[in-house]
Structure formats: C-alpha cells, structure tokens
Amino acid sequence: MTSAVSGGHVAAIDLGATSGRVVLAHVSGSELRAETVARFPNTPVRTPDGLHWDVLGLYGAAVRGLGDAFRQAPGIASIGIDSWAVDYGLLRNGVLLGNPYHYRDERTARGVLSVHSRMRHPDLYRRNGLQFLPFNTLYQFAAERRDVLDLADTALLIPDLVAYWLTGQARTELTNASTTGLLRVDDQRLDDDLFDRLGLRRSLLTPLIAPGESYGVLLEEVRAEIGAPGAVPVTAIGSHDTASAVVAVPMADAAASAFISCGTWGLVGLELPSPVVTDAAREAGFTNEGGVDSRVRFLHNVMGLWILSETVRGWEAKEGHAIDLPTLLDSAAEVPAASVPVFDVDDPRFLRPGDMPGRIDAWCDEHGVRPPRTRAEYARAIVESLADAFARNVHTAAQLAGVDVATIHIVGGGALNTLLCQRTADRSGLVVEAGPVEATALGNVLVQARAAGFAAGSLEALRDLVRRTHAPLRYTPTATS
C-alpha cells in the first residue's frame, strides 16, 4: 500500500444534472489538489415516450475525459463515479434496453398511485425512512411498462451502470441505493418483503457494495481506449452526489453543524449516527439516506437553484442571447428584500421544466401577494424564497433530531452565490460557512484516496484535510429583514 505521506493520483467521474466532468486529484495527508480535466454538457432528450438522459453520450464523454486524465497522470491509482440519485438503466444479458428516464418525466405520477394503492406512504416511511418524492426509484419501477420491466433482468443506478461498463461487474452502491425506497432504514439492506408487496422482482437489484470497496478493475478494452497502463480499480465511493458532497463538508464539529449541498437541488440537513423515523419527521418531509461510513444523512430536499437556472434559461431562449448571472444577482441585491414575495419553492409546480416566472406569478395570485415585476425582482424573490426554505429546514431538522446547530455549511454551486449565503445567515440567525464549491468531486476523491492508502482516518480526519486546504468563507447574520 502506498504511504499516506507520499500520496498519489485518483480520478473522479462526477455526473451532475446539467453537466458532467472528469476530475484529476492528488491527495496525501497534507494535500488535496483537484483539477477538472474534462467537462461536458448533460442535456436531456425528449422523445414521444418521455424525457430521457443521454447516458450513452455521458459515458462516451466520461471515457474521453479519463483518457485526458491518464495522459496527464499515467499513475492514476483509482477511479470513482458519482451522480444524481434515483434514476437507473434496465438491462438484459448485459445490454441496455433503452436510455434511462429522467426523474422529471411526467410518468412518475402513475407510479405513485400504483405504489400507494398497495402501501400508504406512512407505512413506507416506517420501512424506508424516505421523504415522499414522486420520482423515488420504487415509484419509477411501478411506472415502467410491464413488458419492458419483465424483459429486464437487471436494474443499475446511473453510477453503477457506468461502473459496469468500465469493469463488467454489476453492483449496487449503498448510498445511492438508500434513495430507491427499497432498502430497510434500520439496517440498510434490501427489503425483500417490500419487493414482494409491490410486485417487484428482488433479482432486479444487484449485490450491494459499500463506499471504499472495489467494483473490479478496468476491462482490457477500456484500458486500451483510455491509455491506462495497468489494472486500475474502480472504487465505490458515496456514489449519490450528495453523499460525496457531505464527506467534503469542512465541519469542525458535525454534531453542531448543518449542511446545505446546494446546486440543482438544495439538500438541507444533518449528519447523524442513526435515522429519525418519527411521524413528525415524515410530516415535515425529512428523509433518511445512507452516508459514507454508515452515517445517516437526515435531510429535506428543497427545489434548489433549479428554479433560478430554469428562469434564466427561459429568458435566454426567448431573447436568443446569454444572461450574465453575476450581473443579475448584483441587480437582485439592490432590490429590498421586503419588496418581493417569499413563495413556496417546494410547490410541485416548480418541479418540471417550463415557465418559472409564470408559475411564480400564479403562486402569488393564488396567495394574494404582488408578483415580481422586473428580472431583478424575480431573482431576488427566488433567492429570498430559497434562503427562507433553507433556514426553516435547518431549524426543523435540529428540532426533530434534538440537536443544537451553531453553524450552517453551504457547499456546491450555491456557495458562490454571496447573496444566497448572506440571506441564509440572516434568516436563520446562524453563521454560514460557504465552500468548497467542488465538494462532490472532493468527497469522491477522498474516499478513493483513503481506500488507496493516500489518506487515512475517519470522516472527521478527511474533513480536517478539506478545511486546511479549502478554507470556507464566513457569513455572519445581520439585522436586515
């Protein structure tokens, strides 16, 4: 095993909802240095039967990115893969049956009706601990065409599908599997009885693998394509991107800290040693997901920066030119907070792609408040509404779990949004520490590095390395309303 003092290189495939990238990192006991060597778009494709991910395009771009990484650092010791949760590819005899559906596809509604006709959500919650989200994997399975589902012999979550194509080994990584709704919340094992009660085949999901374990080594043809000189392992990490992001939250005291992994979604919560599966937690919309080292991510899914990015995308499509987001946010900062509405960002109307300003207007009309009038006002209303949701959910999480939170850590793209960070501090009355922006990739490479012997210790030790090498920015609450 390579000494943790000398360190070494690992590579991360980090697939997000709007883009993907390959990151090359050098990690040792005192160094955590990461560089994006390839970036590529992730553009969903709508066909007559629904909204899909272009997973073949993503895989091809990721393999080309790995080739770039090996040209820079031929001695890469490991590869890890993370992505969004819940979505999957169906295979038969190792062949993909079609591009995976996108979790925002409308088909999930019929899956909810099918599942809840067999088991109500309160009963599901006691078994799987998951917040009701209409796109969780068990609902998607129930929405599949029966002939297609019967034809499939395997279902692989997106990171596991990529790992299968790289190694030929089919496994189901635990942190992502915990979002399917098909694991028992008490021991994080597949719930065989639930499979039976929902009319699903247990054999669809492959054996579970924990972060730090190896899927296997690269297939010979993959090694030849990317120029890997030897038998490079693909290491299971927290393959749910939020699980990886939480690894790299630089919490000095996890017991007194909340995290917000803020990107397309805003995942707001706490890291706990055990789940909270109470009626109050269920009614508040809190979920219990698996984390690295058997930790529990007790959190609420907030709609996140999706609302802002979809708003800007709509304006750009209408006018045919790009809108500079920093300039827009600077204008929004000049708008008095009291002059814009605070709307419910978790309203289901904001889930699907489409006219976000129109939906905000409709929400305001229904609730008897004046809608925004200018672009700056729309942007300010979105930021205020997100900050309000973030602050409320931090305090709710702390109350439900019986902990005292002193600091909120914002990681991911939202850490760059200074207005959002400050307003979250103001509305919560708590200190906010922002960064690192690249938390998901850093958490990915840290788990790999520990498995390879380039870093050592507990999650707390890994987070201390993040804090020493990627110091967060601090925002203190102000009296601004």
Q: Which residues are catalytic?
A: 241
Closest CA to 291 of 412, 213, 210, 393: 210
User: What b/e readout covers 368-403, taking b as 16+ CB neighbours within 10 angstroms?
Assistant: eeebbeebbbbbbbbbbbbbbbbbbbbbbbbebbeb
- C-beta neighbour count of 14 within 10 angstroms: 27
CA 248 vs. chain centroid, Å, equals 13
DSSP helix/strand/coil, 439: helix
Q: Percent helix, strand, coil in the chain (nearest 5)?
A: 40, 20, 35
Beta strand segments in 273-370, E: 287-290, 296-302
Q: Under a CB-based contact definition with an 8 Å cutoff, are residues 452 and 3 in contact?
A: no
Coil/strand/helix, residue 365: helix
Q: Are 218 and 228 in contact (CB under 8 A)?
A: yes
Number of neighbours of residue 481 by Cβ within 10 angstroms: 8
Residue 204: which residues within 8 A CB-CB, separation 6 or more? 141, 152, 153, 154, 155
Comparing CA positions, the residue from 21, 2, 6 lying closest to residue 77 is 2
CB atoms within 10 A of CB 446: 31
CA atoms of 119 and 197, how far apart (whole Å) = 8
Contact 430, 406 (CB under 8 A): yes
The partner residues of 260 in beta bridges, in order of sequence, read 268, 410
**What is the rounded distance in angstroms from the CA atom of residue 345 to the CA atom of residue 65?**
35
Only one residue has tokens 């090498």, namely 469
The angle subtended at Cα 413 by Cα 415 and Cα 447, nearest 5°, is 95
Cβ-based neighbour number of residue 202 at 10 Å = 13
- Residue 231 · residue 217 · CB < 8 Å: yes
Structure tokens at 248: 């790299």
The CB density around residue 326, as the number of other CB atoms within 10 Å, is 10
Contact 357, 314 (CB under 8 A): yes
Of 471, 475, 397, residue with least CA distance to 430 = 475
